[in-house]
Amino acid sequence: MKRNKVEICGVNTAQLPVLTNAVMRELFVSLQAGELSAREKLVNGNLRLVLSVIQRFNNRGEYVDDLFQVGCIGLMKAIDNFDLSQNVKFSTYAVPMIVGEIRRYLRDNNPIRVSRSLRDIAYKALQVRDSLTNQNLREPSIVEISEAMDVPKEDVVFALDAIQDPVSLFEPIYHDGGDPIYVMDQLSDEKDHDTLWVEEISIREALTKLNEREKRILSMRFFEGKTQMEVAEEIGISQAQVSRLEKAAIHHMHKFIKA
């Protein structure tokens, strides 16, 4: 059966190559040694990744060709900044950068007008965030961003909110073959535990049935209010692993509470 030919920006998507992890690593080594042809091969070998990302923006009314070109810019930035020494899949690193580039493009073309001063603060904050992330290998806090910019943190928060598009709590951030990571998994738990003391007693008893790592993860997530990214960084495992362990631990606790 002949595969339909679909062209985006003159690229026949039916003929896009797929690179193995071994080939990807060899190309990154060659690129970092100064072989520029390796960069072109990495770009062409990851165009399917761009295609998969732009599908989530299909309902924005934008031309697919425009989104594809913007996504390719994000892909090239990811290729230029990818660190082989970090134990992270390239796709896991690249997807947020591609999404970020597309979101910046959509914000620039947003019909809702935001004052120039607010936009300037917001875009500067995004640049500082990216710079601090690359420097410290973690997501910076608003306080760190505001200190680096010498701007009150309230102004930074207000500016970023002004250019932000509404996002579903159940929008997947990335997927590494296991359970997807959703936006809601990034949110801190700021509940008033004083009003839930009865439930807390049951939860603390159920926690005793878990192993030490599961106890630590749930304690940090739901008693200390930390995000999955913060937990992963402190424990020294990936965010995807934190998500899987968290879900398994909660499942075990549910069985104990219902018993």
d(CA 81, CA 175): 21
Q: Where exactly are the structural domains of the chain?
A: 1-109, 112-166, 181-258
d(CA 137, CA 72): 23
- Domain 112-166 class in CATH: mainly alpha
- Directed axis angle between helix 47-54 and helix 37-45, to 10°? 40
CATH tag for 1-109 (out of 1.10.10.60, 1.20.120.1810, 3.40.50.970, 1.20.1560.10): 1.20.120.1810
Between 25-29, 106-110, 240-244, the lowest mean confidence (pLDDT) is in 106-110
Architecture per CATH, domain 181-258, reads as: Orthogonal Bundle (1.10)
Q: Which two tokens stand for residue 146?
A: 């505001």
Residues 110/81, Cβ–Cβ less than 8 Å: no
What tens digit of pLDDT does each residue of 117-163 get?
777 888 888 889 888 888 888 888 888 999 999 988 888 888 887 76
What tens digit of pLDDT does each residue of 3-62 get?
444 455 556 666 677 788 888 888 888 988 888 888 889 988 888 888 888 887 776 667
- Directed axis angle between helix 90-108 and helix 116-136, to 10°? 170
Which residues have C-beta within 8 Å of that of residue 24, sequence separation ≥ 6? 42, 45, 90
Tell me whether the CATH fold assigned to 112-166 matches the one assigned to 181-258. yes
Nearest residue to 59 (alpha-carbon basis) of 201, 190, 141, 166: 166
d(CA 163, CA 111): 11
d(CA 20, CA 252): 37
What integer pLDDT is reported at residue 150 of this predicted model?
Answer: 92
Average pLDDT rounded to a whole number, residues 229-249: 85
What tens digit of pLDDT does each residue of 173-204 get?
555 555 556 555 555 554 444 444 445 556 66
More confident residue, 76 or 108: 76
Average pLDDT rounded to a whole number, residues 87-98: 84
What integer pLDDT is reported at residue 148 of this predicted model?
Answer: 92
